[in-house]
Structure 1
Amino acid sequence: MDKRLFSLSITFVVLLALSVNAEPKTTLTVMHQGDPGWAMLYNKVAERFEAANPDVEIEFIYAPHDAYNEKLSAVVMSGGLPDVIELDAPYLANYVWSGYLRPIVPYLDKEVLDDMTDSNVAQGTYPIDKQLYALGLTDSTVVLYGNRKYLERIGARIPRSVDEAWTREEFENYLDRLSDLEDVKWPIDLFRGYGIKTEWVTYAFEPILASFGCDLIDRTTWKAQGALDSQPCTDALTMLQAWVRKGWVVPMSSGTNQFYAGRRAALAWGGHWVYAEAAATMKDDIVVMPLPKFGARSVSPNGTWIFGITTSSKSPALAGKFLGFLLKDREFRDFVSSQGGFPGLKTFARQSPLYAPGGPLAIAFDQASRSAQQRPPHPAYPVITSAFMQAVDRILNGSDVMEMLGAAATRIDEDIADNDGYPPFALQ
C-alpha cells in the first residue's frame, strides 16, 4: 500500500474519532444595542469568554440604538428570544409582565450582586414581586451644566452638593440675567435636538414634575388622570412653555451642541454622557451642578440599558456566568469609563475618576443615591412615555398645557383599561 495513502487513512480515522468524541458547543445568544464601537467591544469580550470556556460559543444579535425596541419586538414575534437581552430600564416592567424575563439572582455571583449600587438595583427590580430581573455595569443621570465665565459674570451661586441645588426662584432669575449677556443667545439647552423619538423627553423632564410634587401616573392606583393632568404637573409644563416663549431655550432646529461647541448657550440640562465632549472643548469653563429644586426637593432620573436573562433561555446559568464575566472584564470597564459611563457597580465607581469624591462628576454620582427616581415601573410604560413625549412636544410648540396633559392622561388610562389594569397591578 502506498505510504502516502496509508498516512492519509490514519489521519482521516483520527479526525473522525475526534469529531465523534468531541462534545458539541453550547451556543449562547445575546442581543444588544449601541454603535459599531460597542459591537466590536462585545465581540472582544466574547472571544475572551470563549477562550476561558472552550465548550461555549457566543452569538450576538445587534440592533442600532434607535431601532432596538422594534427589532426586539420582531424577534419576539418570530417565535423566540435570545438567551440574554439588553433592555432600556423603564421597559423592564413591561418585559417581565409579558413573560420575557426571569429573576436573575440565582444565576449571578454574590460578589456581583453585592457590588450593585442602590439605583442599579432599583432600575432592575420588578415592583410586584420585588425581585431583580436585570443589571448592568452602568446607570445614568442628568445634571445641570454651566459655563463658568457666564455664571461669574452674573454673580451666580455655584452649588457644590445636592443640598445646595438652586431653587426655582434662583434658577429663573439666573436664566433671565443670562439672557441679557451679549455672548449668550440662549440661556439654556434642554437638548430638544434629540427629538421626540427617543426616551430623552420623559427621562429628562419627568424629574421636573416630581420636584413640583406630581408624577406621570399615580403609583398606587396606577391611574394617570388626577396625576399627570393635576395642577402641579400643569404648573411644571407651563413653566417650561414660558421658558420657550421667552426665547431662553435652544430650539430643536439648532442641534445639540450649542452649549459646548457654539458656546451660545450658558447652561445645559444634559445627561452624564455630555461631559466628555463638553469638557474636551470647554476645559476649566465647564461647571457640573445638581438639578434645581422647583419644589421641596431636587429630583434626578436614573435608568439605562441593562441586561436580563430570558425565560426562553435553555442555559440560564451559563447566561449568568457570561454576564458576570462581562461586568468584571477590564477592557470592557476601561472602554465604558472612557465614554464617561455612569457607575452602576461600586467597584466601577472607584475605578472611575470622574465620579470619585472630588471628581468633576461627583455630584452626578451623589444624585444617584440621594435624589434619583426611576420612571414608572409599570407594563404600560411604552404608552406612558409615548403619550407624555407627544404632549410635551406640543406644549413646547405652544399648545394648551391642560388640554395636552389631559389628552395624554386619558390615552394612558385607556391603554391600562384595555389591558384589564395589567393584573396584578390593578390589584395593588
Structure 2
Amino acid sequence: MKKSIGFLMLLITMIVLAACGNSGGEKKAGENVTLKYGMWNKDQVPAVEKIIENFEKANPTIKVEIELTPREQYFQKLETAANGGAMPDVFWMNGPNVARFANGKALLPLTDLVKKDKFEMSNYPETLTSLYTINDDIYGVPKDFDTTGLFYNKKIFDEAGVPYPDETWTWEDLKEAAVKLTNKEAGIYGIAAELKNQGSYYDLIWQNGGEIITKDGKSTGFADPAVIEALEYWYSFTEEGASPTYAQLTETRSTDMFMSGKLAMTFDGSWRVAVFKDNPDLDVAPLPQGKERAVTIHGLANVISAKTKNQEAAWTFVKYLGSKDAAQVFAETGTVIPALNGMQEAWLESVPTMNLQVFIDALEYSHPLPNIEQTSALWAEETNILKKAFSGEISVEDAAKELAASADKILNK
C-alpha cells in the first residue's frame, strides 16, 4: 500500500513539473495569445488596424498589437531584437534584407507550413515569391508590390502654363518642365532630385541601360559611363536650381514639400497614393523615358520570427494577412497594391481621381531591387559616398568611381 501511495505521489509530481516546464513554450490550441506585429509605415496603420479587427473577430483567442518603428530605425532595431530574442512574432520584411535575416536564422522557414496547409503561393506574382525564397526555403508571404510614378501638382502646372506629363515625356521634357515650373519667389521647385535609390536614381540608371549589380553578384555598375550619366542627369536638377538642395531635402522630406505645394513634381512609389489621394490637385503619370522605359519594382512580405513562442497563432495571422479579405481592405482604402493576384482592379478603383493604371502598366518594364545578403551594407555605402556629390563636395563621376571600388569590396567579403 505504501509503495502504491509513493508511486502515485511521484506520478503527480512529474505531471506538475511537466506542466511548469511547458509554461514558457508554444501556446496550445485554444489558449489566448497576443502577437506583436512589426511594421514601419504609419500611413498604413488605419488599414492594418481594420485588418486586425477583422482577424480578431474570426480568431477570438488571438490578439494582435502593432509595433510601429520609423523606417530609418526599423532594421537596426530588428537586428538588435534578433540578437536579444525579442523580435515581434510577425513583421514586415523587404527584399534587400530578407537574405541577411534568413541566413542569420532570425526568420522561421515557412516551407513545411505551406505544404502542410496546402497554402497556394501561386496566388502571388512569381517575382515576389522568388524574392522571399532563400536556398529553396520560403520565408515570407507577399503583402503588396509597388512601382514608381511621376506625381505632379495640376494647380502649379496650370499656373505656369505647362502641359501635364504623359507617356510621351522624355528626360529632356522633364528637365524643361522642371525649369519652367520653378518659382523661387514663391518657394516652388520643379522637382525633388532626392538621393534615394528606389523611386529615384535606380530608375534612371536602368532607363539609361545601366545596372546596379552584375548577374554574378560580384561587382556593381557604378563605374559604368551609363550609370554615371544617369547620376549626373539627376544631380543637374539641383545644379540648375530646379530642385531643392541636398541639405534642404535632408531637413524637409520631399513628400511634405509636395503636399504643401512647394514641389511641382516628385518621383515616388505607389505606396504614396494613400497619402496623396485626398488632394484634388494631385495626379500621377508614367516616369519619363530615357534610352528605354524602366522602373523599380519591389514588394513587402510578412514573416515570422524564428524565436516566436506563438508559431501556430503567428502562422494563422500571416495566412490571413495574405488572404482576399486583407487584400480587399488594402485595395479599397488605396493603401497599397495588394500582392494577391486578382485584387489589383479594386485598388485601381479606390482612387478614381488618379491615373493609378500607370503603376500596373509599369510591371511590364520593371526591375527588382537587389536582394543579396550585402544589400543593406551596399545601400549605406551608396548614401555615404553619393551624398558628397549631391552636396557639391566632389564630382558625380569621382563619387561614382569611389563607390564602385568600395561597393565591390563589400560584395566580395
Q: TM-score range by the shorter chain?
A: 0.7 to 0.9
> For the residues of structure 1 that align with 2:52 and 2:283, how far apart are their CA atoms?
38
Does residue 286 in structure 1 map to residue 272 in structure 2? no
Q: How does 1:51-62 map to 2 (within 5 A)?
A: 52-53=58-59, 57-58=62-63, 60=65, 62=67
Does residue 84 in structure 1 map to residue 90 in structure 2? yes
Equivalent position amino acid for 1:328 in 2:
S
Does residue 147 in structure 1 map to residue 153 in structure 2? yes
1:380 pairs, out of 362, 370, 374, with 374
Q: How does 1:188-267 map to 2 (within 5 A)?
A: 188-190=191-193, 192=194, 200-202=196-198, 204-224=200-220, 227-251=221-245, 252=249, 253-256=251-254, 257-262=256-261, 264-267=262-265
CA contact (8 A) 1:189 1:250 kept: yes
Measured after TM superposition, the shift of residue 331 of structure 1 is 6.8
1:93-115 alpha-carbon deviations (Å, 9 max, x no partner): 22223233354354346565233
1:362 pairs, out of 332, 357, 364, with 357
Q: Secondary structure at the match of 2:343?
A: helix
| Aligned position for 1:417 | 412
Measured after TM superposition, the shift of residue 370 of structure 1 is 1.2
Q: Secondary structure at the match of 2:231?
A: helix
Measured after TM superposition, the shift of residue 64 of structure 1 is 1.0
- Gap change, CA 1:416 and 1:74, over 3 Å in 2: same
| Aligned position for 2:128 | 120
Does residue 186 in structure 1 map to residue 182 in structure 2? no
If the length of structure 1 is used for normalisation, what is the TM-score? Answer: 0.74
Taking only the aligned residue pairs, the percentage that are identical comes to 18
| Aligned position for 1:167 | 170
- Gap change, CA 1:70 and 1:155, over 3 Å in 2: closer
Equivalent position amino acid for 2:402 in 1:
A
1:30-75 alpha-carbon deviations (Å, 9 max, x no partner): 4412367866876775565566456x54565724123221221112
Measured after TM superposition, the shift of residue 318 of structure 1 is 4.8
- Between 1:110-119 and 1:242-251, the stretch displaced more is 110-119
CA contact (8 A) 2:143 2:300 kept: no
- Gap change, CA 1:186 and 1:61, over 3 Å in 2: closer
Measured after TM superposition, the shift of residue 134 of structure 1 is 1.4
CA contact (8 A) 2:207 2:289 kept: yes
Measured after TM superposition, the shift of residue 289 of structure 1 is 0.9
Measured after TM superposition, the shift of residue 92 of structure 1 is 1.3
Q: Secondary structure at the match of 2:412?
A: helix
| Aligned position for 1:426 | none
1:209-249 alpha-carbon deviations (Å, 9 max, x no partner): 1111222321324212xx12221111111112211010011
Equivalent position amino acid for 1:280 in 2:
D
- Between 1:343-352 and 1:176-185, the stretch displaced more is 176-185
| Aligned position for 1:5 | none
> For the residues of structure 2 that align with 1:362 and 1:380, how far apart are their CA atoms?
34
| Aligned position for 2:14 | none
1:398-420 alpha-carbon deviations (Å, 9 max, x no partner): 122222222322332323333xx
- Between 1:391-400 and 1:233-242, the stretch displaced more is 391-400
CA contact (8 A) 1:178 1:187 kept: yes
CA contact (8 A) 1:209 1:215 kept: yes
Measured after TM superposition, the shift of residue 77 of structure 1 is 1.1
Equivalent position amino acid for 1:76 in 2:
A
1:405 pairs, out of 392, 396, 400, with 400
> For the residues of structure 2 that align with 1:23 and 1:286, how far apart are their CA atoms?
49
CA contact (8 A) 1:119 1:344 kept: no
> For the residues of structure 1 that align with 2:46 and 2:257, how far apart are their CA atoms?
31
| Aligned position for 1:12 | none
If the length of structure 2 is used for normalisation, what is the TM-score? Answer: 0.76
Equivalent position amino acid for 1:265 in 2:
L
| Aligned position for 2:104 | 98
Q: Secondary structure at the match of 1:410?
A: helix
Measured after TM superposition, the shift of residue 382 of structure 1 is 0.7
Q: Secondary structure at the match of 1:377?
A: coil
CA contact (8 A) 2:97 2:373 kept: yes
> For the residues of structure 2 that align with 1:183 and 1:273, how far apart are their CA atoms?
29
Does residue 391 in structure 1 map to residue 389 in structure 2? no
> For the residues of structure 2 that align with 1:37 and 1:158, how far apart are their CA atoms?
27
> For the residues of structure 2 that align with 1:373 and 1:68, how far apart are their CA atoms?
24
> For the residues of structure 1 that align with 2:182 and 2:50, how far apart are their CA atoms?
49
Measured after TM superposition, the shift of residue 258 of structure 1 is 3.1
Equivalent position amino acid for 2:287 in 1:
L
Equivalent position amino acid for 2:67 in 1:
Y
| Aligned position for 2:141 | 135
1:3-48 alpha-carbon deviations (Å, 9 max, x no partner): xxxxxxxxxxxxxxxx99x977375744412367866876775565
